[in-house]
Structure 1
Amino acid sequence: MHDVDLGWIRVFVEVVRAGSLSKAARLLNLTQPAISYQVRRAEEEFGQALLRRRHRGVEPTDAGARLYDILSRSVAQVDELAQRLREAGRKNELRVFTDYAFSGLRLIPRIHEFRDTHPEIDLQVVAAQHTDLSQLRAGDTAVVFGAATDFGPEAVLLMPETVVPVCAPGYGARDLGTAELIHLDGPQPLRWFDWQSYLTATGARHDQDRLRGNMRFNTYSLVIEAALAGQGVALGWRGLIDPLLLSGRLKAVGPELTAPGRGYHMLHGIPRNAATDCLHSWLLAIHRAPGS
């Protein structure tokens, strides 16, 4: 009696699974003679044929089928264990998809807080003008702007759309009727408050001709940069520009206006994992904390 040499196990399992020596050779990146040699070794170990050659491919004998039933489960369990051990040895890597405004004005200034609390997690921020949700993979997170009806029931409203007119402290206009207005352009119809909808909703005095002029940008970060530079009045999204108001770099010069159910929503790829849950808890905490 001697112990069975098990070096041929994966080859045998792949041959039975593929039903062909040549297909198994391609899957394992081996030559067909090497596959045939390993099968012969297995058959020598057991003293009988384990595969039956057919015109096209192979099939297991009764003994081969019994052996495959045992080995296929064992190989799958070993592969699963190896994958888990490899993942445990690596840092958790998370991707956050969002737009330039949220990443630049909200996420980047506070991302050190998450890194300090969770040094075991590597966070990659993927910013774009418009986030493509089809890019989300398992464990990914997206923070995107829109109405609740734009997303599925899993979406969580992080930051409702509340806007307030803002300008630099030294900007000289006395009211919105005489101010240079800074506009954010986008695909029509706009999915956010613009000056037309804001002024109409608040009943503020405005000149239609002035609304068609003044400065226009296609990126919200540039809108805020222009306001900081004293170029006019912008619609400030609360949550994004709150630190600038608290520091005195911007001042509010009109009433706030909120769009119920519209704002930045948090979505995630499926399935989630423990690292994703840590990120979601942090995002919720920084947006629900007083003065955040």
Structure 2
Amino acid sequence: MAEAPVYLGWMRLLVEVARRGSLSAAAEAMGLSQPAVSYQVRLLEQRFGVPLLKRLHRGVSLTDEGRRLLQIAERTVRDVDTLERDIRRGRRRPVIRLVTDYAFSSLWLIPRMPGFRQAHPQIDLQIVASQRLASDWQEEGDLAVAFGARADFAGAAMLLMPERVVPVCAPALLARWTQDDGSAVADAPRIHLEAEPGSPWLDWRSYAAAAGTSLEPGSVPGDLRFNTYAMVVQAALGGQGMALGWLGVIDQFLEAGLLVPAGECVEVPDRGYWLLGGSEQGAVMQLRAWLQDETGAAERQSS
């Protein structure tokens, strides 16, 4: 018959004995009696068939076999303690998953993350970004911030930022592209967002129609096209052309003077960034409230 495996409850006991140098001190640290610790050590030595401790006049020391066993015990105890701390920390710190698009996450959310962490240090926020909101987004997130019209979203949705769009460019280039009447020249290079078919974002042609201007793409060489809005903004910051700027998303660049308006502002009614979903979980409600405060949606709703 095979022998029973070694009982592993001795590991912390052996670590404490080695750390404190005596059975009585180890017993006190573990809330046990000294005879109980001595008995466990004797059972362990019987199981291995060799002495693991040297009994000294005062205290104990490890034999060579005891030191070999201690290396395993210390590593195992340390790993178990680390795992316990991680699990407890994870239970204490809720993780909230926010689903949104690349533009909102990179240009609006990330610059404001230090403020959120300072206000809510107990919450870990996970950002799940994609080009467009998927119909099954709730499988990946607790909340969503998505761009579109109210009719695009089933159920309750709160408008965080209405769509307001204005052409923008680097300030050093505005004078070069300004006509005598103060309007931007029609053949200034454009920076385009190559959106997917059916995208709700304004493009230069639909912006020009809404604004009643001639600021739509022509045949002038030098236009640039990108498939993410963050790259559109980076190109505009670099002075490579004129881009459509969504107010709210690019406000920090306007406030810093890195971008300046270069045309009329167009507002599209009932369209913009919407806050979707949310449970009664405390951390989710805190994130909802923070998003509403930071975007000014709470103030608009109360007015």
Give the TM-score of the pair, scaled to structure 2.
0.63
Equivalent residues of 1:180, 1:232 under 8 A apart: yes
Within a 5 Å distance, the mapping from 1:220-239 to structure 2 comes to 220-239=229-248
CA contact (8 A) 1:180 1:233 kept: yes
**Counterpart mapping for 1:123-138 below 5 A:** 123-137=125-139
CA radius of gyration, larger in: 2
Distance in 2, matches of 1:88 and 1:185, equals: 40
In the alignment, which residue of structure 2 is the partner of 1:256? 265
What is the rounded CA distance, in whole Å, between the counterparts of 2:141 and 2:280 in structure 1? Answer: 5
* Partner SS for 1:210: coil
- The separation in 2 between residues aligned to 1:151 and 1:207, in whole angstroms, is 30
One-letter amino acid of the structure 1 residue matched with residue 177 of structure 2: A
Look up the equivalent residue of 2:261 and give its one-letter code: A
Do the aligned residues in 2 keep the contact of 1:139 with 1:268 (CA within 8 Å)? Answer: no
The equivalent residue for 2:120 is 118
Aligned-residue identity in percent = 46
Q: 1:243 to 1:208 in 2, by over 3 A?
A: closer
Q: 2:281 matched to 1:279?
A: no
Q: Are 2:145 and 2:276, in contact at CA under 8 Å, matched by a contact in 1?
A: yes
Preserved CA contact (<8 Å) 1:165 1:253: yes
Classify the secondary structure of the residue corresponding to 2:218: helix
Find the aligned partners of 1:200 and 1:211 in 2 and give their Cα distance: 19
Q: Any conservation in 1 of the 2:204–2:217 contact (CA below 8 Å)?
A: no
**1:47-95, CA deviations, whole angstroms, 9 ceiling, x for partnerless residues?**
xxxxxxxxxxxxxxxxxxxxxxxxxxxxxxxxxxxxxxx8994311100
CA drift of 1:206 comes to 4.5
Number of aligned residues: 205
The reply on whether 1:266 has 2:275 as its aligned counterpart is yes
Runs of 4+ in 1 over 6 A off after TM superposition: none
Q: 1:242 to 1:211 in 2, by over 3 A?
A: farther
Q: Supply the AA of the counterpart residue of 1:209.
A: G
1:92/1:120 contact within 8 Å kept:
yes
Q: Does 1:97 align with 2:106?
A: no
Q: Which structure 2 residues correspond to residues 1-292 of structure 1 after superposition, within 5 A?
A: 89-137=91-139, 140-171=142-173, 172-174=176-178, 175-206=184-215, 209-210=218-219, 214-269=223-278, 271-288=279-296
Cα distance in 2 for residues equivalent to 1:155 and 1:246: 29
The answer to whether the 8 Å contact 1:176/1:205 transfers is no
**Does the 8 Å CA contact 1:181/1:211 hold for their aligned counterparts?**
no
Q: 2:244, 2:125 → 1: CA distance?
A: 30
Give the residue type in structure 2 aligned to 1:147.
Answer: A
Corresponding residue for residue 43 of structure 1: none
CA contact (8 A) 1:100 1:128 kept: yes
Distance 1:118 1:133, change over 3 A: farther
Unaligned runs of 5+ in 1: 1-85
- Segments of structure 2 that go 5 or more residues without pairing to the other structure are 1-87, 179-183
Rounded Cα–Cα distance in structure 1 between residues aligned with 2:237 and 2:217: 25
Aligned partners of 1:139 and 1:272 also within 8 Å: no
Q: CA RMSD in A?
A: 2.5
SS for the counterpart of 2:172 is coil
What letter matches 1:93 in structure 2? Answer: V
CA drift of 1:127 comes to: 1.2
Question: Whole-Å Cα distance in 2 between the matches of residues 111 and 101 of structure 1?
Answer: 15
Question: 2-side partners of 1:150 and 1:166: how far apart?
Answer: 28
Report deviation, 1:167. 0.1
Superposed displacement of residue 135, structure 1: 3.3
Structure 1 CA distance, aligned partners of 2:217 and 2:117? Answer: 48
Cα gap change, 1:123 to 1:207, in 2 (>3 Å): closer
CA 1:203–1:127: 2 relative to 1, 3 Å: same
